[in-house]
Amino acid sequence: MGGRQHEQIPTDVYLSFVRSLYGNRMTLRAGMISHVLTCGLIYFKVQDPVYLAFGGIIFALWFIRAMSMRWFDKVEFADTDRDLISKWEWRYIAGSGLVTLTLGLMNGYAFLVSQDTFAQLAALSVTIGTMVSVVGRNFGSKTNVDIISLAACLPIMIGLLFAGSIYMAILGFMVIPLIVTTRAMANGVREFLYENVLSRREIAIIADRFNAALNNMPHGLFMLDEDGRIVVANKKAAELLSAPERDSLRNHSLMAVLRYGVRRGVITSGRAKIIERQLKSLIAGEESRALVYFSEELYLEFSAKRRMGNGVVLIFEDVTARIKAEEKIVHMARYDSLTGLSNRGYFSEIVETAVRNMGDDEKFALAVIDLDDFKHVNDTNGHMTGDRLLCAISARLSGLANERMTLSRFGGDEFVIFIRDVRDAADVDKTMSELFESLRGNYLINGNKLFVSLSAGVVIGSKAEFRLDDLQIKADLALYETKHHDKNSWVIFAEEMDEKYTRRQKLKAALRDAVREKSFTVVYQPMFTADTVQVVCCEALSRWYHPEFGAVSPAVYIPLAEEMGIVGELTRHMLTVACRDCASWPNGSAVSVNLSANDLRNKEIVSMVTDALDAAGLDAKQLQVEVTESAFVQDAAKAKSILEELRAKGVTVAIDDFGTGYSSLSYLHLLPLNKVKIDRSFVSDIANDERTLKLLKGVVHLSRELGLEIVVEGVETEEQLELIRSTGSADLIQGFIFGMPMPSSGIVELTSSRKPKAARAAAPKTKRAGTGG
């Protein structure tokens, strides 16, 4: 080992070298036999018993060594037993050294004593043969090689040097190259084998690491030869393909593996052929990656890389979770999470594709369906019940849909249906009638029986005029028309609806400008005491005149302002003007300003009122705010809190249009009210219907029991006025009988004169045309 010490050799390698010394015992027996026979032949030739002694010693040493070798076989060596290994090495060295020393001495004796040519030649032959065996079986120990070489050759050298011939002496020196050569050869063999053992160990370690890495990969791996047969397969590959153990896959083709999957029922034969084509395309380099569908529960993604030569390495992984996640993401991106119907974006894609594939003459319909009063379901039963109702409706709608229909939920309670291959309006009516007949009715949700009615708007179109956004607007316009006139039905879009829509959009733009520029005028309708002697309060009413649209009714622009979210600015303007005008009126008359439902959801209304009073220098007791029941539907608690704060500042609070809602009586004791303004519907027929008069008197009595002041609205005839006065049904009276709403200057004149008869004489004797307040 080139000077390496045993301590430098790994213990397992050291043990393997020592085992090599004790191995191949037939050569030892053959050597012993040849040595003993040679000794015998020399004895018979020269008749010298010393050679028999040499033969006996060699046999005895062989026997002892044979017993020692048997003992060696029974020893169990541990990786840490270097000392024990070393002892057995030295036992071997001792035995082999004694044998070669005996041979060497026999050679020396032949040259110095016997001086018989046969004896010299025979002894030298067996000794040189032993030297040759040093390379073949004794290379495992450097020390053993040295001792054998010296023990065998030194006696020969001495015998030749002292043989008495110069030629013999020269031959004696020629033994030195033999020693050196034998030693070098043995050491070379040992060094070569040592490096080989280390290399094999490293290869084994690398192979073990490679095998561990290969079988712990999260990916499957096949290494294919140029014929497409598997030469390497890892454990994961066998698992993913439900194949036998990886070792059994070697030398098989991929198709054989797929056929095994077919037999196991993992894939179908048809699917196996498709997969084979995909993998062949991948192996041929036509694709860099291939997503292979095995089953709903298994998607594998393969990639291929060429090896040196013609082989290919296939790496594949289970991407089922990723595919499922991607499908889920795509589903979430395309479908409504609540109902499972396609959402707006995906619906648009489907519809646009469908229209592209239509014939030029083919017609379609787009229907927008809305649930009537769905908000009431959420408010009274909770949003969870509302969601479940939407799911139930969408499930029923999906069951009704056929191949002509594409369904979508755009949000809230709005469903959209695209209907292909529509013949005419009658066909659309028939389809909508069938849908409404099935969708309309009772639904049992969370133990509650909920009746559902629907409203819809439908537009019919063709490929040439397809603009989805425009169609949706038209369908919405038709839906708006349905809800405006009579719910629980549907309307097919007509062009005049578009004109109305355009006008409405222009009106909204003009209204926004009017609010910003404060282009509204304010008129006032007085409220007289029951004896019609004194004006106590005046209701402020806004009026808007537009150059294009003319006089626009408050019944039109106030709801529009609420829809646009700008009604608060209109309220601010009304408060500012009304408080300023009121401050100029004589006799301390009050002013009343209407607040919208939006105002009572905005905490800023309190600061608006305060600012208006401060700017006008008006006492809070001279300001009255009027609210309707609709203001309390969405957030009664917040509205009540705002009214309490206003009332605490001294502002009077009145409920307007009392009696038009379904829960008016409950508000009388829940809200911080000072007055009740009884709606004109209680007054209009009191002269002709005794029951109506009794109802009015009952409401008045109830209100007074609660300590509320009574204002009766809509008084238009002398007969109505006399009945109200004679029955004591009002504290204040308001109506056209006293005149039309007038500007602030008219109120100043009216309150100064205090002549109600004159006022009545000036009033027109006509039916109410509408205050618009």
What pLDDT digit, counting tens, does each position of 492-529 carry?
Answer: 888 777 777 788 888 999 999 999 999 999 999 999 99
Kindly give, in sequence order, each residue whose CB lies less than 8 Å from that of residue 483, ignoring residues fewer than 6 positions away.
Answer: 370, 372, 455
Q: Which of 135, 182, 185, 178 is nearest to 27 (CA)?
A: 135
Q: Give the count of beta carbons closer than 10 Å to the beta carbon of residue 408.
A: 25
Grade residue 633 by pLDDT with cuts at 50, 70 and 90.
low
Only one residue has tokens 């209109």, namely 570
pLDDT of res. 525: 93
Q: Rounded to an integer, what distance in angstroms lies between the CA atom of residue 102 and that of residue 105?
A: 5
pLDDT of res. 140: 67
Query: What's the CATH fold of domain 335-493?
Result: Alpha-Beta Plaits (3.30.70)
More confident residue, 571 or 479: 571
pLDDT of res. 580: 95
Kindly give, in sequence order, each residue whose CB lies less than 8 Å from that of residue 324, ignoring residues fewer than 6 positions away.
Answer: none
**Cβ 582 vs Cβ 618: under 8 Å:** yes
pLDDT of res. 500: 77
Q: Rounded to an integer, what distance in angstroms lies between the CA atom of residue 232 and that of residue 553?
A: 87
More confident residue, 454 or 135: 454
How far from 237 is each of 208, 214, 230, 294, 307, CA to CA, in Å?
18, 10, 11, 14, 19
Q: Rounded to an integer, what distance in angstroms lies between the CA atom of residue 248 and that of residue 229?
A: 12
CATH of domain 217-325: 3.30.450.20
Q: Phi-psi region for residue 480, left (φ > 0), alpha (ψ -120 to 50) or beta?
A: alpha
Vertex 122, ends 118 and 127: CA angle to 5°? 150
Considering 72-76, 323-327, 576-580, 717-721, the range whose residues carry the highest mean pLDDT is 576-580
**Cβ 682 vs Cβ 692: under 8 Å:** yes
Considering 11-25, 285-299, 398-412, 637-651, the range whose residues carry the highest mean pLDDT is 637-651
pLDDT of res. 79: 64
Continuous H helices in 284-421: 320-334, 344-356, 374-381, 383-400
Kindly give, in sequence order, each residue whose CB lies less than 8 Å from that of residue 456, ignoring residues fewer than 6 positions away.
Answer: 367, 368, 369, 370, 432, 436, 478, 479, 482, 489, 490, 491
**Pairing state of beta strands 652-658 and 675-678?**
parallel
Q: For the chain, give the percent of residues with pLDDT over 70.
A: 91
Q: Rounded to an integer, what distance in angstroms lies between the CA atom of residue 263 and that of residue 171?
A: 81
**What's the chain's average pLDDT?**
82
Considering 392-396, 659-663, 755-759, the range whose residues carry the highest mean pLDDT is 392-396
Domain 521-762 has CATH 3.10.290.20: no
8-state DSSP, 400: H
Tell me the domain boundaries of the chain: 6-204, 217-325, 335-493, 521-762
Q: Phi-psi region for residue 754, left (φ > 0), alpha (ψ -120 to 50) or beta?
A: left
pLDDT of res. 22: 76
Q: Which of 694, 684, 740 is nearest to 717 (CA)?
A: 684
**Cβ 302 vs Cβ 315: under 8 Å:** yes
